[in-house]
């Protein structure tokens, strides 16, 4: 599994596996202009859109399970 971060001809910044990006480009009738290397995770989170569907978003911000429990979002209690 390799994730690519790219800029598209329509100026969108997206990331995903190469095949997923290709499918997204076909749907949006655009193409890849440039590929980025060494992008920091916080930059990817803030500026890039995940276009994949095979896995969870690799740059998604993790949620603290203890914080979710305090807020009442845990699914274990009934």
Predicted local confidence at residue 65, as pLDDT = 66
Predicted local confidence at residue 78, as pLDDT = 44
Dihedral sign for Cα 10, 11, 15, 18, please. Answer: positive
Q: Is residue 43, in this structure, part of any structural domain at all?
A: yes
Q: Is residue 52, in this structure, part of any structural domain at all?
A: yes
Per the structure, the complete domain to which residue 49 belongs is given by 4-70
Q: Is residue 28, in this structure, part of any structural domain at all?
A: yes
Q: Is residue 76, in this structure, part of any structural domain at all?
A: no
pLDDT band (50, 70, 90) for residue 8: very high
Quote the number of domains for the chain: 1
Q: How many C-beta neighbours within 10 Å does residue 34 have?
A: 8
**What does the alpha-carbon distance between residue 17 and residue 19 come to, in Å, rounded to a whole number?**
6
State pLDDT tens for residues 20-36.
999 999 999 999 999 99
Q: Is residue 30, in this structure, part of any structural domain at all?
A: yes
């Amino acid at each position: 599994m390799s994730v690519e971060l790219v800029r598209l001809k329509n100026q969108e910044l997206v990331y995903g596996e190469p095949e997923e990006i290709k499918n997204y480009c076909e749907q949006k009738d655009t193409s890849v202009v440039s590929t980025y290397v060494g992008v920091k995770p916080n930059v990817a989170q803030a500026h890039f859109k995940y276009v994949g569907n095979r896995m969870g978003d690799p740059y998604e911000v993790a949620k603290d399970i203890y914080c979710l429990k305090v807020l009442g979002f845990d699914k274990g209690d009934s």
